[in-house]
Amino acid sequence: MSQQFPSLLAVFIAERRNLVRYLTGRIGCRATADDVLQEAWLKLHRLQSGEPVDNPLAYLRRMTANLAIDDARANARRLLDPMEIEMLLEVPDEAPNAEQVASDQQQLQRLVEILDELPQRRRELFVAARLEGLPHKALAQRFGVSLRTVELEVRRALDYCALRLQQLSGETGQER
């Protein structure tokens, strides 16, 4: 059974909500789905003839799917407009500023000096565990000590470094 052009518009109006849901699922954006449906409505009005359509809903879905594909292709090639560029420029820069970089470098230099104050084995265990990320078990085997000794030495080094950093920065902190 074939239907005429006015029936196609009637189906469009009756199925608009379903078409919006269908397009939103395909496109992923309700606003773009509305835009594509508007384009479909305009396209239906521009049709010259009232050629018969056997399945108006299938015809509308195919038309809107094709328009969605055309829209996606057009947007893929589209350059950013000035407002979009402005919005991107307003994204805060998460990189540290020069003051923060200088402060971090100073703190790192302090930490190097503090590490030099540690006994050699404690310093080597701490550096291997915390900076190189080696497991305590491997360190115990490498240094010929117990796992408990590695844990204690690393903890003591960490506590000492934290205390000395507080002292050098002028902070007064309570001991743990």
Q: Indicate if 9 and 66 belong to the same structural domain.
A: yes
Q: Indicate if 32 and 65 belong to the same structural domain.
A: yes
What are the tens digits of pLDDT across the range 50-80?
667 788 888 888 988 899 888 888 877 667 7
Q: Indicate if 11 and 85 belong to the same structural domain.
A: yes
Smallest CA-to-CA distance from 129 within 143, 111, 110, 109 is with: 143
| Crossing angle of helices 56-77 and 30-46, rounded to 10° | 120
The boundaries of the domain holding residue 65 are 5-89
Q: Indicate if 69 and 110 belong to the same structural domain.
A: no
Which band of pLDDT confidence, cut at 50, 70 and 90, is reported for residue 176?
Answer: very low
Above 50 in pLDDT, residue 2? no
- pLDDT value at position 60? 86
Q: Indicate if 106 and 78 belong to the same structural domain.
A: no
- CATH number (domain holding residue 112): 1.10.10.10
Structural domain includes residue 153: yes
Q: Using the 8-state DSSP alphabet, how is residue 121 labeled?
A: H
pTM > 0.75:
no
Structural domain includes residue 176: no
- pLDDT value at position 66? 92
Largest CA distance in the chain: 93
Average pLDDT, the chain: 84
Tell me what the mean pLDDT of segment 110-121 comes to: 93
Tokens of 6: 């006015």
Q: Indicate if 150 and 82 belong to the same structural domain.
A: no
Give the CA distances from residue 120 to residues 92, 116, 134, in Å, rounded to whole numbers and listed in that order. Answer: 44, 8, 17
Checking 45-50 for CB contacts under 8 A at 24+ apart, the result is 47/5, 49/5, 50/4, 50/5, 50/6
